[in-house]
A and B are shown apart, each in its own frame.
Chain A
């Protein structure tokens, strides 16, 4: 178990010192969402209508940005050879990497998203549900993304390939994430949507770990 926290700690500390990936994803998120009111115009009705979808799509793309280097750097500098022969099972390594990735991108997204949603005139009922939906949805994005990151490790121009692989798989999270907010805003129960998001998280957790581990083992050969 110590090994698990060592990997989480190392990834977070490294990102903190280099100030790169995590910060970049958040800046991307902020700027993308801010572009919409500028492009669409300040009319509050339209912004409130599209707000949830805009923030969710920007969050998907921001998550993608951080995925490419999730396993890549470890492969390039030989770290993965040593990680593979460490006593920690590879599944636990992938979970640690996902957790670090979520702490560096998912958590800041979760903190900034309500502010951006307010900027887009999302009303109060919608806002609370939106935060819950983001909390349930962003870890799923990381687990799904880990599969793509593991599959494209060692590929040239892996980033583009990764985007093509992963974005279609993000569709269910997007649909139910936006659906939850729409339901809350129109006075319906958001519970079914949130339950589906929870179900997706429970599904993508084992599936993501298993598929990423298998792909990484392939890449090690």
Chain B
């Protein structure tokens, strides 16, 4: 558990290969977005969204379903182009050098990207190897797995994993190679209490070493240096009314309890 967390442990052997930066000493805005606009399928999700992150910061994305948390994370990852606005790293536009931006981040989305015919450790070492351009050592794979209590399942096919264990495997991928920026889309879904604690510890360790994390979550997660970002503030007025109306209809239809769950993958 102690020596599994990047970027401290593996940065020596692999940091050079992917151009990952050493922990930042100088304080200043490192990753920022300016005037981001997201349009999905003709619907304007948010407009004029700004954010700024310094090394060690955590950005917590909050807002109702459909307010664009996942879309913002995909924009930050470079998987989705914003309709307007810029993403900046050290003040330079990210899209000018997308490949370096990919190399300094980890993205954990709703889907796990796991192949059920492969074993747990094969899945992990494939993704780590693809990202690093070199097959990871067996010990680094083991360490990342044990951080989320998956080491006993290492040689079993991913088919037998439960939803929570699959999620833990996705999170173990984040620990298996260093990155400055973690983009986590509802990482606590399906996780048990111990795993949430392990995740919190991993994030804290990441932040202490100058890493940044952007996390979309509905559950309360007490993080250090957390900056909340309420996405519903950036929803255009017309769309907001619609969102609230939708929520109200769901509440009315299903009684009080079902309203909270909403749509979730």
Give the B-binding residues of A (Cβ under 8 A).
1-3, 6-7, 10, 13-14, 17-18, 77-79, 81-88, 220-221
Provide the bound-state CA to CA distance between A87 and B102, in Å.
Answer: 7
Chain A residues closer than 8 Å to B102, beta-carbon distance = 85-87
Among B16-33, those with CB < 8 Å from A are 18
In the bound complex, do residue A77 and residue B111 qualify as a contact, i.e. CB atoms below 8 Å apart?
yes
Interface size class for chain B? Answer: 20 to 34
Chain A residues closer than 8 Å to B127, beta-carbon distance = 82
Of B75-83, B144-152, B222-230, the one contacting chain A is B75-83
In the bound complex, do residue A78 and residue B110 qualify as a contact, i.e. CB atoms below 8 Å apart?
yes
Provide the bound-state CA to CA distance between A81 and B126, in Å.
Answer: 14
Provide the bound-state CA to CA distance between A217 and B80, in Å.
Answer: 10
Chain A residues closer than 8 Å to B130, beta-carbon distance = 3, 6-7, 82-83, 86, 88
B79 contact from A1, A7, A220, Cβ within 8 A: A220
Among B73-102, those with CB < 8 Å from A are 77-81, 99, 102
The answer, yes or no, to whether B109 is at the interface (CB within 8 Å) is: yes
In this complex, which of A6, A10, A83, A85 has the most chain B Cβ atoms within 10 angstroms of its Cβ? A85
In the bound complex, do residue A87 and residue B79 qualify as a contact, i.e. CB atoms below 8 Å apart?
no
Q: What are 5 inter-chain pairs, A to B, with CB distance below 8 A? A: A1-B133, A14-B117, A78-B109, A87-B18, A88-B133
In the bound complex, do residue B133 and residue A87 qualify as a contact, i.e. CB atoms below 8 Å apart?
yes
The answer, yes or no, to whether B160 is at the interface (CB within 8 Å) is: no
Q: 8 tightest A-B contacts by CB? A: A78-B111, A79-B113, A85-B102, A78-B113, A17-B117, A3-B130, A86-B130, A14-B117
In the bound complex, do residue B80 and residue A221 qualify as a contact, i.e. CB atoms below 8 Å apart?
yes
Knowing A85-B77, A85-B102, A221-B81 are in contact, say whether A3-B129 is a contact too (CB < 8 A).
yes
Provide the bound-state CA to CA distance between A151 and B105, in Å.
Answer: 29
Among B115-135, those with CB < 8 Å from A are 115, 117-118, 122, 126-127, 129-131, 133-135
In the bound complex, do residue A78 and residue B112 qualify as a contact, i.e. CB atoms below 8 Å apart?
yes
The answer, yes or no, to whether B46 is at the interface (CB within 8 Å) is: no
In the bound complex, do residue B133 and residue A81 qualify as a contact, i.e. CB atoms below 8 Å apart?
no
Chain A residues closer than 8 Å to B114, beta-carbon distance = 77
In this complex, which of B99, B105, B117 has the most chain A Cβ atoms within 10 angstroms of its Cβ? B117
Chain B residues closer than 8 Å to A87, beta-carbon distance = 18, 99, 102-103, 131, 133
Knowing A77-B113, A78-B112, A85-B107 are in contact, say whether A10-B118 is a contact too (CB < 8 A).
yes
In the bound complex, do residue B131 and residue A86 qualify as a contact, i.e. CB atoms below 8 Å apart?
yes
Provide the bound-state CA to CA distance between A220 and B144, in Å.
Answer: 29
Provide the bound-state CA to CA distance between A77 and B85, in Å.
Answer: 30
Q: Which residue of A lies closest to B18 (CB)?
A: A87
In the bound complex, do residue A82 and residue B107 qualify as a contact, i.e. CB atoms below 8 Å apart?
yes
Provide the bound-state CA to CA distance between A45 and B126, in Å.
Answer: 53
In the bound complex, do residue B112 and residue A2 qualify as a contact, i.e. CB atoms below 8 Å apart?
no
Please give the distance in Å from A108's CB to the nearest CB on chain B. Answer: 19
B117 contact from A18, A78, A220, Cβ within 8 A: A18
Chain B residues closer than 8 Å to A84, beta-carbon distance = 79
Provide the bound-state CA to CA distance between A7 and B133, in Å.
Answer: 11
Provide the bound-state CA to CA distance between A153 and B74, in Å.
Answer: 20
Knowing A13-B118, A17-B117, A79-B113 are in contact, say whether A6-B18 is a contact too (CB < 8 A).
no
Q: Which residue of B lies closest to A7 (CB)?
A: B130
In the bound complex, do residue A2 and residue B135 qualify as a contact, i.e. CB atoms below 8 Å apart?
yes
In the bound complex, do residue B111 and residue A81 qualify as a contact, i.e. CB atoms below 8 Å apart?
yes
Provide the bound-state CA to CA distance between A14 and B17, in Å.
Answer: 28
Please give the distance in Å from A166's CB to the nearest CB on chain B. Answer: 26
A14 contact from B111, B118, B129, Cβ within 8 A: B118
